[in-house]
Amino acid sequence: MREAIQSALKRFEELERLLSDPSVLADGKQVKVYARELSALKPLVEAGRELERVQSQIRGTEELLSGGDTHPEMTSLVATELQELKAKAGALERQLEGLILEEDPEGEKSVIVEIRSGTGGAEASLFAADLFRMYSRYAAQQPWKIEPMSMSSTEVGGFKEVIFAVEGKSVYKRLKFERGVHRVQRVPETEASGRIHTSTVTVAILPQAEEVEVEIDPKELRIDVFRSSGPGGQSVNTSDSAVRITHLPTGMVVSCQDERSQLKNKAKGMKVLRARLLELKSQELSALRTSERRAQIGTGDRSEKIRTYNFPDRRVTDHRINLTSHRLEEILNGELDELIRPLMEAERQARLGASK
């Protein structure tokens, strides 16, 4: 813990110096990144400094007691003070442990959410729409802001794919547990025999990246424009406002046609591309950190089946922590904290175990 505190203090002081450097202050985007990191470190640094102060007082008080020249009545007062100081130090240590375990450099970020229908055809696309509605209602409760980025709808009212931004405080800290495969078991409205079908939907949660975090060389991009289309491929616009961005080094392709403005679609597409590139970079770093993998709830891979929604039994099961709830309707209406809070606690316990 001492190493973690010293590391945080060193970085905190470095950030303070950077934020007083005129060359840094001239770059508003860089200032925003540094200021956010400084704010995230402040509670840990303040508690660490207070612990050092209390520990210094404890050492001084112990030296006073060990002198043996103090009046008996004064000795009793000093001993009582020592007990109080040790109790305060213990509380600060527990506070610091919690801050260190919860430390996540991406936790406070807004996110890009990508929902895609998987196996199950039309039923999967309908469940993709259900999940989009669930996250929209959960966001409204926080409150967070939802910004649609790209939608590919189906004739039955579902989504082949829906991409949207969720912006606000501590978004990634909570929604990161939603990444993976969501499985639904229910009887489709079109199924005359009443047989239960199993379908899947994939959810990706990508922390949004600042431009200074992910530098993209315009020469490495191919940008194509086309006419936006709706369900079945019919044209819904008379101008080439839709944008397709290809990142040549990685082969990543982002399309955006939600806006009527080509410039707005390009800006949204670049936001999605930066988030995907940051996720790729994070995955590469995570592969090198054994302790981080041990502390992870699930694999974090979008191919992992994380949850089953069983409509006949009104049951939702999260397979990573073996948690089952029979409040399926409430959860789909946005009451996600019933699942997210236990996942956050499981992650905290896993981090505690990985740090020992």
For residue 270, the surrounding DSSP H or E stretch is helix 262-286
CATH topology of domain 218-285: Double Stranded RNA Binding Domain (3.30.160)
What pLDDT is attached to residue 233?
47
Q: Strand 323-325's sheet: what is its strand order?
A: 145-153, 159-167, 111-117, 197-207, 180-186, 305-310, 315-318, 323-325
Q: Strand 242-247's sheet: what is its strand order?
A: 221-226, 242-247, 252-256
Q: Which of 225, 207, 275, 218 is nearest to 248 (CA)?
A: 218
Radius of gyration of the chain (CA): 26
Domain 111-208+292-354, architecture per CATH: 2-Layer Sandwich (3.30)
Structural domain spans, the chain? 2-102, 111-208+292-354, 218-285
Instruction: For domain 2-102, say whether CATH 1.10.760 is its number.
Output: no
CB 248 within 8 A of CB 220: yes
Can you give the length of the chain in residues? 356
pTM higher than 0.85, yes or no? no
What pLDDT is attached to residue 69?
62
pLDDT, block means (10 residues), the chain with 356 residues: 76 89 84 82 88 91 76 81 91 80 69 92 94 97 91 90 92 92 88 82 87 76 79 51 89 84 87 87 60 50 83 95 96 96 85 60
